[in-house]
Structures are given as C-alpha cells and as structure tokens.
Amino acid sequence: MQVFDMIINGQPVKAGGTFDVINPATGQAFAQVQAGNATHVDAAVAAARAAFPAWSRTSDKHRQDLLHALGVALEEDMPALMELVTKESGKPLGGLNGIGSGMEVGGAIAWTHVTADLELPVEVIQDNDEARIEVHRKPLGVVASITPWNWPLMIAIWHVIPALRAGNTVVMKPSGLTPTATLRFAELANRILPPGVLNIVTGESGVGSAIAKHPDINKIVFTGSTPTGKNIMQNAAGNLKRLTLELGGNDAGIVLPDVDPKVVAPKLFGVGFHNNGQTCACLKRLYVHDSIYEEVVTELARIARHTVVGDGLAEGTQLGPVQNRAQLDFVNELVEDARANGARILSGGKARAGNGYFYEPTVIADAKDGMRVVDEEQFGPVLPVIRYSDIDEVIARANANENGLGGSIWSKDRAKAAALALQLECGTAWVNEHGAIQPDAPFGGVKQSGLGVEFGRYGLEEYTSIQTLKVMKS
C-alpha cells in the first residue's frame, strides 16, 4: 500500500501516525496518508512566511515560467494522477460525456497554463502636470487552501496557481477523503518551486481549525459546505483574513415549453449526473413546463436506466460510486423522504448491494418545492423534476432557495432565455448549458453560496491587495 508524506519547506514530513484513504468502488483502503496536526500547520506556515519575501520579489516572467513548467510536469504525470483521482474519488477515467478523471487532470493542466499567463498591470488613474497616480496589485502573504473531496486535484489547482502567480506562498490542506492526487501534485511542484513556496499538511478537523485561526495566514480560499465556510469565516476574524469561499449550490434549471424533449433530455441528464451529481454547479433542481413534463421525465429515466455504473477503472464506466458512505446514506435518506411524500421514482431509487458505495441513477417525478430532495443539495446521482406552468412564478420558486451558485434556462429562443437567465439570483447563469466553466471567466456564488470569485483576472485580483501610489510633480 502506498504511503504519502506531507511536504513542508520542500521536504517530506511524517507525522506520529497515518490514516487510510478508501477507494469508494471497493470500500477498501488503497493508500495511507500522514495524520498531521496543529504543530505541522505551524511549521508549514513558518516555512511559507520565510519563503514569501523572495518569492514575492521574483519577477512576473520567472513566476510564469515556473508555473508553466509545473503544467508540463502535470501533463507528463497525467496517467498516474488520473489513477489516483479515480481511486480516491470514484470518478471514472473517462466518465459520462467525457467528464471523469481524465477531464479533471486535463482541466488542471489547462488551468495552470492559462492562469500562469494572466497579468495584473499597473493601472494609471491620473498622469498630468500635477501628479501621477498608479494602482498596484501586491501579494497578500501566506495563502491557505482547503479543498473538498469531489474534484480534489482540479480545485487544488484553482486555489493554488493564482495564489502563486500573484506572488503569495501557500499552505494546502486537502480533504482527508481524497488527499493522494493533491499530495502528488505538491510533490511535483516542489521539484520546481523554491522550498517553502508550496507546503501541504494532511489531517482532519484539527488541521483545518488550526489553519482558520492561524495569525500568520493572510488569506483562506475554501471550497465546501456552507456551514464549514461560516465556521472558517468566524475563525478568520481574529486577524481579518481575506476570504474566498465557494460554498454549497442547489442549482435550478428551467426548461421552457418550446424545446424538443428528446433533444434536450440527454443534455439535461449530462449536466445533472456527471461526476455522480457530486459537483457544486451540477443541475440539482429541474423545473419543466407542464406541456412537455411527462415526455422529459420519461426520457430522462430511460437514459438513467441505460447508464453504465461501476468501478471507475473499468473500461466503459460512465458513473462511479458515491465518494463516501456518509454521502451515500444522505442521498438514500433524501430519496426515501421523496418516496414517502408521494414522488414517483422513475429510475434507480436504491443503493446497490455488495462492495462499494454505488447508488443507481435516480430520476424523481412529481417532486415539489418543500420536499427535502428539492430544498436541500443532494450531491449525488439524483435529479428531482418539478412541474410549472407560469414563467414568472417558476423564476420566483427557483430564486427562493438560500443558495445562489448557478442556474440555467433551456429554450430555442436564446434572446428570451438570456433575459430570463438574468433574473436568476445566482453567480453564473447559463442558456442551454449548465455548469460549464472556464479559466478566463469569473465564477462564484451569491447568497449562501459564498464570497468572492475565482478564475481569470477577477479571480487573480482576489489574491492581492491594492496599493495606490501618488507621485507629486510640483
């Protein structure tokens, strides 16, 4: 069994013990990881703090070159990284519509290169005979990254690369459920970056709490649940840490009556079920007009019944297992609540017997607002479909949820759909698509779905402070 070490100040570090990493397709351990603690967090922060002055003074061009070299190293290590991602998260190598561990590692590579090329030029506010006023973007210091289990490597890249590009140093804490690919990334990075620039500490709640409270950390970027995000926010108040929080999503999609059910259903299924629905910006509440409702739910259920579920390492697998036992139990709980409250389970509706955490792709008809499976983020292979007849009413229903990450409108009339999409209370709205993101367009939530944005220039700015320079000329 492979054993992974933490990396602090460029060196592998062992703790007093280890913990197992479980393959959700088998329910068995496949790796062991060091069980770090607050002492290791202190050491990692001290290393990052010591490395910050030199790294922040490194030229933009040199930092860019090193990050591009890291992108190349990820590409060269892609097969091994894909296998680790599949074993720890359960997502297939290929996956539904090509969204699997290959896409995750490929996306991590692309995000690394695109982010490395981002620029934050000096902005000139005034330049006349009286004075020149410039706005400079300066790195914050030590940035801490806390990542979830659903896209472990990709989200680590989203956090770390812009932090490094802006001139910060980093301390990472991956999810204890999925730390191995991120540890491998940190190992590759430390072959390229100066010691102390990127450190990684593994462990559970004690490590996260130590990071949130640490007085020498200047910013935390966190992706995960809203309750945990609120807890981090409270603990970060001690030294007014900057925060970027990408939190829960319960995204609504609204299908207008002008679409062809057989054409739109495969697209809806793909955006609702990829990665087993374990994506913050998956479609999780589907509102369909009365006139086409039965056709749409029937087609969605047909697709679900023909979807190949199995071990992500097996050829042809489209959906893997739910990542962990607790999440599997939660998904089952929501489906049983819907069943008890009169919903129709058109496909799936149960966990598979045997090893692993497999749940059959489940389409729920006659779901209603107020049911737990609609109001709560299920984060699993389950899609509740809700009827509507009035567009203004359904926009209001979609907006009534406390989350506001993403939303979508589906229609042949793109102009009408775009106007409706702008009425959705969410950070990103799509037309005839859902969840598609890219490294040059900002992404983030409103309401209870988070603070700040990631990606592109807007995301890079979040890793900096503004300094205004005024030079008098007379």
Residue 188 sits at φ, ψ, to 5 deg, of -65, -45
Helix axes 78-89, 180-189, angle to 10 degrees: 150
Q: Which of 88, 246, 360, 461 is catalytic?
A: 246
**Active-site residue 246, yes or no?**
yes
**Active-site residue 426, yes or no?**
no
CA distance 180 to 96: 23
CA torsion 155-160-161-167 (nearest 10°) is 160
CA distance 231 to 246: 14
CA distance 387 to 208: 42
CA distance 301 to 363: 6
Q: Which residues of 45-54 are buried (b: 16+ CB within 10 A; e: fewer)?
A: bbbbbebbee
Q: Which residues are catalytic?
A: 246, 280
